[in-house]
Structure 1
């Protein structure tokens, strides 16, 4: 099931394969900072990711300042990182790659 919390070994293995992502200090989330050329690109990235997140019913914690987007992914109902978070991170990486990030 995709909303079951992953064990620490599975999380560490997955994060090694997720370019740019790291475990949060408390190991309850994964995090990444994206930097785009400008605000338009950052906002377009967030719009694309928002549509995908809504479709997956799994929403990121994120913030945007000009060309930077900070993302934190965790499944609160599971109390940590699940496959949904990893899938969202992969989708976000693919979206960012369209902007050469």
Structure 2
């Protein structure tokens, strides 16, 4: 079984292959708080104010830029919704790859560091 720490030690790489359902279930269990919504994984991050929300977004941006794997973000005053999927899989139709879970695990570490 792959855990969050193992995912954090990995680096995103280009892939054309989507994950199978069993692997998605295993990796989703490694990133508590993330939920599957169709062909994406999604998490809502809540904060006390806009400054904290933007600080989180900036730290997240640094991580995903380094991994070259970018999520969809919805940012409001005290919430950031992060949605990961991989556009290149399934012949360009999109889906989930290990990259989505690698980035999710690394982003989760931001909250652990601030707790």
TM-score greater than 0.5 by the shorter chain: yes
Tell me the SS of whatever aligns to 2:51. helix
**Count of aligned pairs between the two proteins:** 98
Aligned residue among 68, 88, 91 for 1:57: 68
Structure 2 residues without counterparts, runs of 5 or longer? 1-11
- Tell me which residue corresponds to 2:7: none
- The yes-or-no answer on 1:92 pairing with 2:107 is yes
- Tell me which residue corresponds to 1:23: 36
Tell me the SS of whatever aligns to 1:98. helix
Deviation readout 1:11-42 (Å, 9 max, x if unpaired): 01111221100110x2x110010001211111
Q: What is the TM-score of this pair, normalised by structure 1?
A: 0.89
Aligned residue among 12, 20, 26 for 1:13: 26
Aligned residue among 67, 70, 90 for 2:78: 67
Cα deviation, residue 98, structure 1: 2.7
- Tell me which residue corresponds to 1:48: 59
The answer as to whether partners of 1:5 and 1:82 remain within 8 angstroms in 2 is: yes
Partner Cα separation in structure 1 for residue 24 and residue 85 of structure 2: 12
The answer as to whether partners of 1:21 and 1:32 remain within 8 angstroms in 2 is: yes
The answer as to whether partners of 2:63 and 2:107 remain within 8 angstroms in 1 is: no
Q: CA RMSD in A?
A: 1.5
- Tell me which residue corresponds to 2:96: 81
